[in-house]
Amino acid sequence: MAANNTSDGSKSIFTNYITSPPNYDSWATDIKLWVTGQGYKDHLTTKFDTDKPKWEQIDAQLCSVIKSALHPDIKPIFRPHITCESVWSQAKKLYTNDTQRLYGVGHKLMNIITPKKIEGSISTYLGNVHFALHDFNELLPHVVSSTTEQEKEREQHSTFLMLLSLYGLPEEYAAIHDQILGSATVPDMSTTYAILLRVPAKHSLEPIITPAPGDTTALASFWK
């Protein structure tokens, strides 16, 4: 990515972006990951502490880099905001609308599965479905408190998206599609995707033996 000069002379690792809700999520994810990597995640949510000069100095440096990642068209909106917490809060107010974002996730998912054909590789197709699952889980936080119940909800979301991904497979995957749905126990997303990734595309497909529960490949762990 192209680097951008910041006011303190350092280089930004980000290309200028975030101009609309669709790319806010990418911007926010990158910023949060970068700030966490620097060891200063608390600066995104903690208000400026004037009693700690060193904290103020670090916050100013981080804020400079974060603002350098904003698209030039919207930088004037953020000019009054001179702390990480203030910039982060303002961006969230401007660009997050959970109802619209959830609608967008649904719309994106339907565009993936409705054509019943795969543009590109099966891994790209499954990756797009899994990305939708990530957004789905983020926008519909768990309503239960215990870790066990939260894990059960995640599994239910995963199974639902996995079944939708099977629905969107083209005709050449019919045999493996029927085999998975005909299993006594519907395999989880990791196992199902591991099976599909081993299927030769655009050929007459022979049934593949479903691995026993727990017998997943190393690649399958990527989808958890």
Among 46, 27, 34, residue whose Cα is nearest residue 84: 46
* Tokens 């499954």 found at: 126
pLDDT of residue 64: 92
Length of the chain, please?
A: 224
Q: What is the pTM of this model?
A: 0.53
pLDDT of residue 16: 65
* Tokens 């208000």 found at: 47
> How far apart are the two ends of the chain, measured CA to CA in Å?
28
**One pLDDT digit (tens) per residue for the chain, 224 residues:** 333 344 443 444 456 666 666 578 788 888 999 999 999 999 999 887 667 788 889 999 999 999 988 888 889 999 999 999 999 999 988 887 777 777 878 888 899 999 988 888 899 999 988 888 887 877 776 666 788 888 888 888 888 888 889 999 998 898 888 988 888 887 888 889 999 998 875 544 444 444 444 443 333 333 34
* Tokens 């975030």 found at: 18
| Helix residue spans in 16-146 (DSSP H) | 21-38, 53-68, 75-78, 84-95, 98-113, 122-139
Residues 6+ apart with CB under 8 A from 200: none
pLDDT of residue 185: 83
